[in-house]
Copies of this chain bind each other. A is one copy, B any other.
Amino acid sequence: MTMEVLLTGASGHVGQAILGDLSDEYQWRLFDIEHPGEEAPGEVIVGDITDREVVAEAVAGVDAVIHLAGDPRRDAGWESVLQNNIHGTYVVFDAAVNAGVERIAFASSNHAVGAFETDERIPDIYRPEDTNRLDGSELPRPGNLYGVSKATGELLGRYYHDEHGVAVVCVRIGNLTEGHPPRDYERGQAMWLSYRDCAHLFDRCLQADYEYLIVFGISDNDRRFYSLEPARTYLGYEPRDNSAEFD
């Protein structure tokens, strides 16, 4: 039986990467504040992620939630990330648990740990010969208020897992671009995530067995300062792309 999945923020880049490869693999319910277009591969719900009533209807009966919705701007102001990212994530997780949803994949961000990239460590940390790796077991160091909001979503996921048993994976998405990695931008190449690796990673989030996880969402880049091991080990993630192949 095809798994039914609610995808919030379906019209954004991450949503489009996921649907680009997985539109036929799941029965999709697509939630966004903007309509994803007439060609959208599933039932469409247009609404605000902080609207408890609409979100409760959206999660009813689905097997899993991929929660991407929120203000995606790294320089977003506090009022917006407080409302859309922190409160919005609470609304989605709470509604999902109340509806008996068994797994949630949450789009966290590299910005949850952006302040590890100190002036003393860059640009060395972006280079292949540097062996420093974050693996998600460190205390977060957000690089901006957007990153604070994403790390708070991870805390909410931890709480909902511990308290209610729902499986939660937080994917700290790197730099998602279509076709080729960012050019002349070492940081972006180090945390590049190709569209097909993104879709494959979220596919694994819907298929693998886990309790609570934090993983980094990047391709198999020669340059990187995030470990791929948790995603490989616990999700069976097998990325196919590498930003070095585009040099």
A interface, CB within 8 angstroms of B: 78, 82, 86-87, 90, 94, 115, 137, 139-145, 147-148, 151-152, 155-156, 158-159, 162-163, 214
Q: In the A-B complex, list the 5 residue pairs whose CB atoms are closest, starting with the nearest.
A: A115-B162, A152-B152, A142-B159, A151-B155, A148-B155
Q: A82 — nearest CB in chain B belongs to which residue? A: B87
Tell me the smallest distance from the CB of A20 to a CB of chain B, in Å. Answer: 32
CB atoms of B82 and A86 under 8 A apart: yes
Question: In the complex, what residues of B have CB within 8 A of residue A87's CB?
Answer: 82
CB atoms of A115 and B148 under 8 A apart: no
CB atoms of A159 and B145 under 8 A apart: yes
Question: In the complex, what residues of B have CB within 8 A of residue A145's CB?
Answer: 159
Question: In the complex, what residues of B have CB within 8 A of residue A159's CB?
Answer: 115, 141-145, 147-148
CB atoms of B158 and A142 under 8 A apart: yes
Tell me the smallest distance from the CB of A17 to a CB of chain B, in Å. Answer: 27
Tell me the smallest distance from the CB of A165 to a CB of chain B, in Å. Answer: 12
Question: In the complex, what residues of B have CB within 8 A of residue A94's CB?
Answer: 78
Partner of A115, one of B86, B139, B151, B158: B158
Question: In the complex, what residues of B have CB within 8 A of residue A144's CB?
Answer: 159, 163
Do A152 and B148 contact each other (CB < 8 Å), given the known contacts A87-B82, A90-B78, A137-B139?
A: yes
Most buried by B among A82, A90, A139, A152: A139
Q: A145 — nearest CB in chain B belongs to which residue? A: B159
CB atoms of B152 and A155 under 8 A apart: yes
Q: A162 — nearest CB in chain B belongs to which residue? A: B115
Report the bound CA distance from A51 to B103 in whole Å: 38
Report the bound CA distance from A145 to B158 in whole Å: 11
CB atoms of A162 and B139 under 8 A apart: no
Tell me the smallest distance from the CB of A117 to a CB of chain B, in Å. Answer: 10
Report the bound CA distance from A144 to B163 in whole Å: 8
Report the bound CA distance from A41 to B87 in whole Å: 38
Question: In the complex, what residues of B have CB within 8 A of residue A78's CB?
Answer: 90, 94
Q: A136 — nearest CB in chain B belongs to which residue? A: B139
Report the bound CA distance from A159 to B140 in whole Å: 9
